[in-house]
Amino acid sequence: MIAYSDYLREAVSAARIAGQYQKSRFASTLDIEMKGEKDLVTEVDKQSERLIVEHLLSCFPDHDIIAEEGDYLQAGSPYRWIIDPVDGTTNYAHGYPWFCSSIALEAERELVAGVVYNPIYDELFTASKGNGAYLNGNRLSVSNRAPLSHSLLATGFPYDCATDPANNFANFIAFQKSARGIRRAGAAALDLAYVAAGRLDGYWELKLKAWDVAAGVLLVREAGGLVTTFDGSVFDVFNNKIVASNGLLHDSMVKMLASIAAGGVS
């Protein structure tokens, strides 16, 4: 039986292959297609996905693949890779150096390995189930900051925020008033990796996809943090509302979100 570390090693290789290509094309002229009014994709997204998928399937040809840019045959394998080739595409397309590849592996629908790689800063975040989370080989631990008024949080907004009332605006305003600060950098996987690294104390967002969060969720858990849905219940990567924290802030964040939803915070 292959150990989780073997899967992780190949995920790291795939992320580095894609990252080298992304870095080579960064700030160059790109072909941009629109998937929605604000949701875009570039040829770098597509080629990065090809590079990652080709590498993983060359190592594990029987595994299933779920990825942002392509449709792949689901053969019912107990192993399933969940891939975002470029998380932060809007940043990448604008030459803003904040993006990453996110690669996670599920075994029997449980996250067992994850990689988030930012090639511009050469920061490689890795985790495997039961073995901790790491940044460039150094063990990670979530922060110990509390209460909420001492915290630095992160979030994001859905692409349809201009037209759908479920837009995260009320949550943002309430947390901005309560926390030390809020960051909105535009790459969910990196936000979660930063919670794992203790650089951020908490994170929440809605309307994300599995490939946005899978690797980051494992990083936070393996760094000692907590990940749930907005109501505090068990999170899985196909839930579209996520709260991640150092654990110390979690109850406060969940209660805040519940109060906002009930109209109790303005």
132-135 contacts: CB < 8 A, separation 24 or more? 132/222, 132/223, 133/196, 133/218, 133/219, 133/220, 133/222, 133/223, 135/193, 135/197
- CA 26 to centroid of chain Cα atoms: 21
Give the CATH number for residue 162.
3.40.190.80
116 and 152 belong to one structural domain = no
9 and 132 belong to one structural domain = yes
132 and 249 belong to one structural domain = no
67-74 contacts: CB < 8 A, separation 24 or more? 67/211, 68/209, 68/211, 69/41, 69/45, 70/46
In a domain, 52, yes or no: yes
Cβ contact 110:130 at 8 Å = no
> In the structure encoding, which two tokens stand for residue 117, read together?
């790689």
Q: What is the pLDDT of residue 164?
A: 74
> In the structure encoding, which two tokens stand for residue 114, read together?
């994850």
17 and 117 belong to one structural domain = yes
Cβ contact 118:26 at 8 Å = no
Look-up of token digits 């760094």: 223
Q: What is the pLDDT of residue 33?
A: 72
> Which structural domain, as residue segments, surrounds residue 222?
148-261
Give the CATH number for residue 21.
3.30.540.10
In a domain, 115, yes or no: yes
191 and 225 belong to one structural domain = yes
User: For strand 226-228 and strand 181-183, is the pairing parallel, antiparallel, or unpaired?
Assistant: unpaired
* Domain finish residue from 98, 115, 139: 139
Number of domains in the chain: 2
Could you read off the pLDDT of 155-180 as tens digits, one per residue?
999 877 777 778 889 999 999 999 99
86 and 212 belong to one structural domain = no
67 and 190 belong to one structural domain = no
* Domain finish residue from 139, 172, 201: 139
In a domain, 124, yes or no: yes
Residues making up the chain, counted from first to last: 266
In a domain, 266, yes or no: no
34 and 128 belong to one structural domain = yes
Instruction: Write out the chain's pLDDT in tens, 266 residues.
Output: 567 889 999 999 999 999 999 999 998 877 777 666 666 688 999 999 999 999 999 999 999 999 988 889 899 999 999 999 999 999 999 999 999 999 999 999 999 999 999 999 999 999 999 999 999 999 999 999 999 999 999 999 987 777 777 888 999 999 999 999 999 999 999 999 999 999 999 999 999 999 999 999 999 999 999 999 999 999 999 999 999 999 999 999 999 999 999 886 65
Q: Other CB atoms closer than 10 Å to residue 198's CB: what's the count?
A: 17
In a domain, 89, yes or no: yes
Provide the 8-state DSSP code for 13.
H
Q: Tell me what percent of the residues of the chain surpass a pLDDT of 90.
A: 83
CA atoms 112, 118, 119, 121: torsion sign: negative
Q: Indicate the Cα dihedral angle 42, 45, 46, 49, nearest 10°.
A: 180
> In the structure encoding, which two tokens stand for residue 136, read together?
């460039």
82 and 127 belong to one structural domain = yes
57 and 127 belong to one structural domain = yes
In a domain, 42, yes or no: yes
Could you read off the pLDDT of 115-159 as tens digits, one per residue?
999 999 999 999 999 999 999 999 999 999 999 999 999 999 987
89 and 125 belong to one structural domain = yes
In a domain, 122, yes or no: yes
* Domain finish residue from 113, 139, 165: 139
In a domain, 200, yes or no: yes
Q: What is the pLDDT of residue 42?
A: 87
111 and 154 belong to one structural domain = no
